[in-house]
């Protein structure tokens, strides 16, 4: 019997022979096993395993089953590899090719292939655990955390977008990016959660604002789902339901049309927003029709010519939006380098702490399960909140 996800043969694993199943029954088993792991994780496992196989072949070592000492030698050799210095860097500064986190992931991949074959996981042996611990200790460095985007930052980025709102074709991308910024900040969503939203996942609530269903997340791989509420804002410029409404109007106009057919109607809808008397006021109470395709991505790719795509943005594209908009707003290069998709989520937590919200209230929106994780945000980005140093009378 062969695993469809790993290609490993289960026979000869040292355990009793597997039962004889029909082809359909075996296929159903492996389909269920295959769905237990995210596709991106499976791709990483396969890539890591292929690298380990090549290394073992070069070293004349067995890779299935692999001896714990073989795995320990594999990661310690990789840990010593350095990459040449980049442009402008000192040739004396060590730039390690692989981080401790990468090496730990390699070991996890090796373990996964062994357990899938019914074998003991060599990476769980004490020698491998201690080797990884020694590498982490020797290479201990502060974690590279994303800088938070606070509410004032979001306002600044939105202000740079405003001139493009009624320009063709830049206005289409600007409307999408404005909705992305405000919904990403207000929901404290991970970038994967943002790009995973469908148009049908957002419902307008008469009192609450928006109810956004996040169907799957990093901590909800079984897709139980959760609903995040986004209230109506006081300021039209930062009202998430307003930004959502204007973006939905463009999405609805483009829905079902080929890219070549979108130009005229989408341009008309964009310019109609410019002539709307509510352009400087709230539009979030406008009734929106049911989406033509509820499964269509809420944040799709948009071509520079203004055509709305059918595929969702990637997580990396969210990073690029923040970097591009921050650069347009004149942010320093060093600060831009620390921005990423997580900056919106980090910014929500930091802003909430600074405005007096407690950990429980913040966790209601972020979905964190452990308040100790939030303490990291408070300590690094809101260090004076709840700090006794403010009571010393200095």
Residues in the chain, overall count:
394
| 214-255 per-position pLDDT tens digit | 887 665 555 566 899 999 999 999 999 999 999 999 999 999
**What local confidence, expressed as pLDDT, does residue 359 receive?**
87
- The average pLDDT across 186-193 equals 92
Measured between alpha carbons, how far is 272 from 302 in angstroms, rounded to an integer? 20
**Which residue shows structure tokens 């307008």?**
204
For residue 135 the two structure tokens come to 């590498």
Task: Tell me the pLDDT band of 141, cut-offs 50, 70 and 90.
Answer: low
**What local confidence, expressed as pLDDT, does residue 242 receive?**
94
For residue 191 the two structure tokens come to 């970038």
What pTM was computed for the model?
Answer: 0.70
| 59-106 per-position pLDDT tens digit | 999 998 899 999 999 999 999 888 766 544 444 445 788 889 899 999
Cβ within 8 Å of residue 295, ≥6 positions away: 198, 199, 200
Q: Is 95 left (phi over 0), alpha (psi -120 to 50) or beta?
A: beta
Measured between alpha carbons, how far is 128 from 115 in angstroms, rounded to an integer? 16
For residue 171 the two structure tokens come to 């206005």
Q: How far apart are the first and last CA of the chain?
A: 73
Measured between alpha carbons, how far is 168 from 187 in angstroms, rounded to an integer? 29
Task: Report the chain's mean pLDDT, rounded to a whole number.
Answer: 84
| 330-375 per-position pLDDT tens digit | 999 999 998 988 899 999 999 998 888 888 889 889 888 888 778 7
Q: Give the chain's domains with CATH numbers.
A: 23-138 (1.10.150.130), 151-335 (1.10.443)
Measured between alpha carbons, how far is 113 from 77 in angstroms, rounded to an integer? 21
């Amino acid at each position: 019997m062969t695993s469809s996800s790993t290609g490993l043969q289960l026979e000869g694993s040292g355990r009793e022979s597997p039962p004889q199943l029909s082809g359909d029954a075996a296929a159903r088993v492996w389909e269920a096993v295959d769905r237990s792991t995210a596709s991106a994780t499976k791709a990483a496992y396969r890539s890591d395993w292929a690298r380990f196989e090549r290394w073992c072949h070069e070293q004349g070592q067995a890779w299935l089953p692999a001896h714990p000492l073989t795995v320990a030698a594999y990661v310690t050799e990789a840990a010593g590899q350095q990459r040449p210095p980049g442009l402008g860097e000192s040739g004396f500064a060590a730039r390690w090719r692989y981080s401790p986190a990468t090496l730990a992931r390699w070991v996890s991949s090796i373990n996964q292939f062994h357990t899938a074959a019914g074998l003991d996981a060599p990476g769980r042996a004490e020698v491998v655990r201690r080797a990884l611990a020694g590498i982490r200790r020797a290479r201990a460095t502060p974690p590279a955390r994303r800088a938070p985007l606070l509410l004032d930052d979001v306002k600044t980025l939105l202000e740079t977008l405003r001139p493009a709102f009624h320009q063709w074709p830049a206005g289409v991308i600007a409307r999408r990016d404005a909705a992305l910024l405000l919904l990403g900040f207000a929901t404290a969503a991970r970038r994967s959660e943002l790009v995973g939203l469908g148009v049908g996942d957002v419902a307008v609530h008469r009192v609450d604002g928006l109810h956004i269903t996040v169907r799957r997340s990093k901590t909800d791989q079984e897709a139980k789902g959760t609903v995040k509420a986004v209230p109506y804002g006081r300021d039209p410029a930062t009202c998430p339901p307003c930004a959502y409404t204007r973006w939905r109007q463009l999405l609805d106009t483009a829905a079902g049309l080929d890219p070549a057919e979108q130009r005229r109607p989408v341009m008309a809808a964009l310019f109609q927003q410019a002539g709307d008397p509510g352009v400087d006021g709230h539009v979030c109470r406008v009734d929106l029709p049911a989406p033509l395709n509820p499964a269509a991505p809420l944040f799709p790719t948009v071509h520079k010519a203004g055509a709305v795509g059918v595929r969702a943005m990637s997580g990396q594209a969210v990073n690029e939006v923040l970097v591009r908009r921050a650069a347009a707003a004149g942010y320093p290069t060093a600060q831009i380098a620390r921005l990423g998709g997580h900056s919106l989520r980090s910014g929500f937590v930091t802003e909430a702490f600074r405005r007096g919200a407690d950990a429980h209230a913040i966790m209601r929106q972020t979905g964190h399960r452990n308040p100790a994780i939030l303490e990291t945000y408070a300590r690094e980005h809101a260090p004076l909140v709840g700090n006794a140093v403010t009571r010393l009378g200095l």
